Chain A
Amino acid sequence: MTKTYQDFPGVEWVEGSGRHISVAPERCDGCGNCVRVCLAKCFKISSKKAVVDNLDMCMECGACWYVCAPEAILFSWPPGGTGFRTRWG
């Protein structure tokens, strides 16, 4: 099953990517950097901590992981054959 979103035409997401990005709440300082760099709106701040809202439109760019100074964000590849794909990159 694949999904597409109007925000990002020309890209489709193959189901099964699971939660390949997560936040370790004990390390998160609530700075909001991840929210500010994510074009796919994956994060929100809840009770002064970042949480993964949804990874629907994640393009696996890793921006959230790179800007997370306390290393609270865990980033890994989704399983092979899942996640975003495009032929227009």
Chain B
Amino acid sequence: MGEDYDVVVVGAGFGGPVAAHKCASAGLKTLVLERSITPGDKVVSGLVIPFYGFLFAPPFIRDGNPPLQKPIRKVVNHFVKNGEIYASDKSLWLPPPLALTYSAYCEPMCVWLADRAVEAGAELRTSTAVMDLIMEQDRVKGVVTDKGDEIRAKVVIDAAGTQDGLALKAGLRRKLPPDALELYMLWDFEMAKEDVDSTFGNSVEFYCAMPDEKITAPLGYGSTFYIFTYRESIHPGLGQFLVTEGKIPHVARLLEEYFENFTNTVSRWKNDIAPKLKLRAKMFDVCPIYAGLDRRIREMPIYGEGMLIIGDAAAMESSAFGDGVPNAWFSGAIAGDVAVEAVKAGDASASFLRRYDERVKAHSVISASLSDTRRWDMRWALPGNDEREMRRRAHELFGRGVWRYRHITGQVLREMKTVLSRDPMVAGKWMKMFNRYNRNCESGYSDPPSSYEPAPKAGIYSEGREAVIA
């Protein structure tokens, strides 16, 4: 009871540890609260982190050895009809040692990030859920845990993820509307490294089909069937909007149906992929989708009296590619800086913290990723079953069209130029990073975790519906 910190960060996912790292490095008394036993063991995602996340995030990520799985150098868009691939767009690729994106498992990534925050001096308390806020005259003054402990803080950084309830309790944000959310299901299959390499190389695959094929949800790329590739496994998944044409369909049944149709009809899956697989895990979760294109969500505040909201808790899912980690890192870093300034100035009022909002809005990559419409635009191919239009749109999004000097890609290239003009030596650090990540992905090396017990390899051993592992 009666604990007192400079900064309390709620959530040790992707953004929380970055914010905590900033605060602790600046000497602030920083506490990270995480409701799961091990950081990341409640994070469910088909996780691929685009290269620009690593380029522009705090240098400890770029210069470290995070537990990455595979450098992804090519995006393959398959167009499917009657179970057969009738065309493929493989025009988006980068040569080694570069990579478009890196696949990773959430748990080891979050553990790695939390370790860095702890090294910097932050305190981490796991198995601790934050249930409420300490509010005094409409100001956030701290948090209340599930054990009833009251922990006071000058600044609370809310990094609690999509289903965050704290910003609602603070009266800052509202529950996300269901039409801005998707439910997604994903699978993890073991696959020998040689098989992953010979079947996929360093590519990820997207399967696009018209709605009547019933193998992907009917809104184009928001909900495509994807296969992400890992070192010795693959991670297929698909999602469905919670609301379609104004109604809430039987999403649970549709997702099972799409997956069954996909695995039963798509010949590449049946012949080339499935025989080499062993099912290891099946999971689901809800995430925001196209939140940045939604005015109702954009207008919700991301700061308040004594509180900053980062990453998915602030609905910063990128409309461009559906990724959330780079924006969680960028916003986490900005929030960390602002919290340090606020504590030093002795002012955590909303008018002081407004600079967080201003810097997030001025961050060219965050704002471009939130407002990029190309993935959303895939849907315009669907009326009239226009296959040519679908292929054209896919080429714009995950084909060579991506390099056109505009929007997210343009902003990433411009940001690279800006960073390099400030400090040309960064180029060498980036190249070292690409090379080191390559070697690490090949060998499976990462900085060893400090002190967490990984989640047990549950499930695969269970026989009955209620097999109990003691």
Contacts and interface: CB of A to CB of B under 8 A. Distances in A.
Contacts of A59: 44, 283-285
Contacts of B181: 63, 66
Given A37-B252, A88-B280, A10 B460 contact: yes
Contacts of B185: 39
20 contacts: A5-B465, A5-B467, A6-B462, A6-B465, A8-B459, A11-B282, A11-B458, A12-B456, A59-B283, A61-B286, A66-B286, A77-B131, A80-B126, A85-B36, A85-B37, A85-B42, A87-B454, A88-B283, A89-B105, A89-B283
Given A39-B185, A83-B42, A10 B162 contact: no
Given A3-B468, A63-B181, 14 more contacts: A4-B458, A4-B462, A5-B466, A6-B463, A8-B459, A12-B459, A37-B183, A39-B284, A59-B285, A66-B177, A80-B126, A87-B456, A88-B280, A89-B105
Contact of B251 (A14, A37, A77, A81): A37
B49 to A, nearest CB: 14
B371 interface: no
A89 B43 contact: yes
A47 to B, nearest CB: 21
Contacts of A65: 163, 175
Contact of A87 (B105, B126, B468): B105
A62 B282 CA distance: 18
B91 to A, nearest CB: 31
A36 interface: yes
Contact of A80 (B128, B163, B248, B279): B128
Interface in A1-20: 1-12, 14
B37 A14 contact: yes
B126 A81 contact: yes
Interface string B144-177: 0111000000000000001101000000000111
A11 B281 contact: yes
A67 B242 contact: yes
Interface string B113-151: 000000000000011111100000000000001110000
Interface string A24-38: 000000000100111
Given A86-B107, A86-B458, A36 B282 contact: no
Interface residues of B, number: 70
B464 to A, nearest CB: 7
A38 B252 contact: yes
Contacts of B470: 1-2
A77 to B, nearest CB: 4
A74 to B, nearest CB: 10
B129 A37 contact: no
A3 B461 CA distance: 12
Given A12-B469, A33-B248, A77-B131, A61 B285 contact: yes
B146 A79 contact: yes
Contacts of B357: none
B388 interface: no
User: Dominant SS at the A interface?
Assistant: loop
B281 A36 contact: no
A12 B457 CA distance: 9
A49 to B, nearest CB: 17
B241 to A, nearest CB: 11
A3 B146 CA distance: 22
Contact of A8 (B37, B282, B456): B282
Interface in B249-306: 249-253, 255, 279-286
B216 interface: no
Nearest to B185: A39
B280 A89 contact: no
Interface string A64-86: 01110000000111111101111
A22 B252 CA distance: 20
B393 interface: no
Nearest to A15: B468
A37 B247 CA distance: 12
Contacts of B251: 36-37, 63
Contacts of A88: 105, 188, 280-281, 283
Contacts of A8: 281-283, 459
Given A6-B462, A37-B183, A87-B105, A81 B127 contact: yes
Given A9-B281, A37-B242, A88-B188, A76 B178 contact: no
Contacts of B456: 2, 12, 87
B106 interface: yes
B36 A10 contact: no
A40 B457 CA distance: 20
A36 B37 CA distance: 30
Interface in B32-89: 34-38, 40-45, 47
Contacts of B94: none
A84 B37 CA distance: 10
A80 B146 contact: yes
B431 interface: no
A55 to B, nearest CB: 14
